[in-house]
């Protein structure tokens, strides 16, 4: 039986690189996305053409009904989930805290925090030995923003990633004796579309010279760390973090 992996937010960026690498390493992958149907379909077609196994599922991870339907679809098409990457995430236009309204804060926390909780909950219900599962691994995609705070850009986003760090530690300790490892990666400045959502598509190039490694990172470099944390090579690591951030 192939290991079964859900990657949330896998139509683009870090999620897409993770789904691609996982499929090449023998995972049956569910590619979740919210809006980018053509990109998600192209990724699934690529994986299949390379001999891998993938299914597509459109769902907003912040919507409980849609998350429940997604996990039922995975049960039916791929079998019991053994690995989850909570990657879906958003940020909004750069601004100071004094200008943020409640709707914006709710959108950010709903997608980044509640979405990760809901997907992890459904995964634990299937992976935990307490529920008849055979264990599994969860990797949360946090951010260096959790430690840096993103002043003058998006403190709300940074705070949502701080919540993901606490979530990673707490859930890891809660389910460690039930065969489930929970870890996180903290990417730094990675070349993806997310910076455009903040209103600055060229943000990585603006800041890259300030990094010890003096360059931005590629989604594939984050995917490699995620795949290691999912793998048996990381069998004694739980509740911990890999910073994939060029030394920042
Ligand atoms: P991206 O290129 O903007 O891709 C985001 C992905 O998340 C897309 O596939 C998007 O789907 C999906 N998504 C967004 N909201 C969703 C929702 N509510 N439900 C389901 N899917 C949703 O971003 P990225 O840079 O690869 O970011 C991936 C993760 O890495 C995020 O958690 C982000 O915070 C984190 N991160 C990124 C960086 C960086 O520098 N790029 C640094 C630190 C952390 P659609 O395409 O369908 O909208």
Nearest CA to ligand 1 atom 23: 194
Q: What is the DSSP string of 128-155?
A: -GGGT---EEEEEE--THHHH--TTT-H
Q: What is the DSSP string of 79-139?
A: -S--EEEE----------GGG--HHHHHHHHIIIIIHHHHHHHHHHHHH-GGGT---EEEE
Residue 109 CA: distances (Å) to CA of 42, 43, 55, 71: 29, 28, 27, 21
What is the average pLDDT across 229-243? 98
Ligand 1 pocket, Cβ-based, cut-off 6 angstroms: 8-15, 32-36, 60-62, 87-90, 111, 115, 141, 143, 187, 189-190, 192-194
Q: Which ligand 1 atom sits closest to the C-alpha of 187?
A: 43
Residue 59's pLDDT band, with cuts at 50, 70 and 90, is very high
Share of the chain above pLDDT 90, in %: 100
* Averaged confidence pLDDT in the chain: 98
Residue 65 CA: distances (Å) to CA of 54, 59, 70, 74: 22, 9, 9, 15
Say what the pTM is. 0.98
Q: Structurally, how many domains does the chain consist of?
A: 1
Provide the pLDDT for residue 203. Answer: 98
Q: Which ligand 1 atom sits closest to the C-alpha of 161?
A: 34
Residue 56 maps to which CATH number?
3.40.50.720
Give the tens place of pLDDT for each residue, 86-145. 999 999 999 999 999 999 999 999 999 999 999 999 999 999 999 999 999 999 999 999
Report CA(190)–ligand 1 centroid distance (Å): 11
Residue 1's pLDDT band, with cuts at 50, 70 and 90, is confident
B/e letters for 156-173, b = 16+ CB within 10 Å, e = fewer, are bbbbbbbbbbebbbebbe
Mutate to test the pocket of ligand 1, among 29, 194, 222 (most ligand atoms within 8 A of CB): 194
Report CA(167)–ligand 1 centroid distance (Å): 18
Query: Does residue 73 surpass a pLDDT of 90?
Result: yes
Q: Which ligand 1 atom sits closest to the C-alpha of 216?
A: 40
DSSP state of 245: S
Residue 10's pLDDT band, with cuts at 50, 70 and 90, is very high
Q: Cα–chain-centroid distance for residue 244?
A: 14
Q: Which residue's entry shows tokens 């192209």?
A: 42
List the catalytic residues: 157
Report CA(177)–ligand 1 centroid distance (Å): 31
Q: Which residue's entry shows tokens 């995620």?
A: 226
Domain encompassing residue 19 = 4-244
CA distance 7 to 79: 15
Provide the pLDDT for residue 232. Answer: 98
CA distance 114 to 116: 5
Share of the chain above pLDDT 70, in %: 100
Q: Which ligand 1 atom sits closest to the C-alpha of 157?
A: 34
Give the tens place of pLDDT for each residue, 175-209. 999 999 999 999 999 999 999 999 999 999 999 99
Give the tens place of pLDDT for each residue, 165-178. 999 999 999 999 99
168 φ/ψ sector (left φ>0, alpha ψ -120 to 50, else beta): alpha
Report CA(13)–ligand 1 centroid distance (Å): 7
Query: Does residue 19 surpass a pLDDT of 90?
Result: yes
Count CB neighbours of 147 within 10 A: 16
């Amino acid at each position: 039986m192939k290991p079964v992996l859900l990657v949330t937010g896998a139509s683009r960026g870090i999620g897409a690189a993770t789904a691609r690498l996982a499929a090449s390493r023998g995972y049956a992958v569910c590619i979740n996305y919210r809006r980018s149907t053509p990109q998600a379909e192209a990724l699934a077609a690529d994986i299949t053409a390379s001999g891998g196994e993938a299914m597509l599922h459109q769902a907003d991870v912040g919507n409980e009904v849609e998350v429940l339907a997604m996990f039922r679809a995975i049960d039916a098409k791929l079998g019991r989930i053994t690995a989850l990457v909570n990657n879906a995430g958003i940020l909004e236009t750069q601004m100071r805290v004094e200008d943020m309204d409640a709707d914006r804060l709710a959108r950010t926390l709903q997608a980044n925090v509640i979405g990760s909780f809901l997907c992890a909950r459904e995964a634990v219900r299937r992976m935990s030995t307490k529920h008849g599962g055979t264990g599994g691994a969860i990797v949360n995609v946090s951010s260096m923003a959790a430690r840096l705070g993103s002043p003058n850009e998006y403190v709300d986003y940074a705070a949502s990633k701080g919540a993901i760090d606490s979530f990673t530690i707490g859930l890891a300790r809660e389910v460690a004796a039930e065969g489930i490892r929970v870890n996180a990666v903290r990417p730094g400045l990675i070349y993806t579309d997310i910076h455009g959502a903040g209103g600055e598509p060229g943000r990585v190039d603006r800041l890259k010279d300030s990094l010890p490694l003096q360059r931005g990172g590629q989604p594939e470099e984050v995917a490699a760390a995620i795949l290691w944390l999912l793998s048996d090579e990381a069998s004694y690591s739980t509740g911990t973090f890999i910073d994939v951030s060029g030394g920042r």
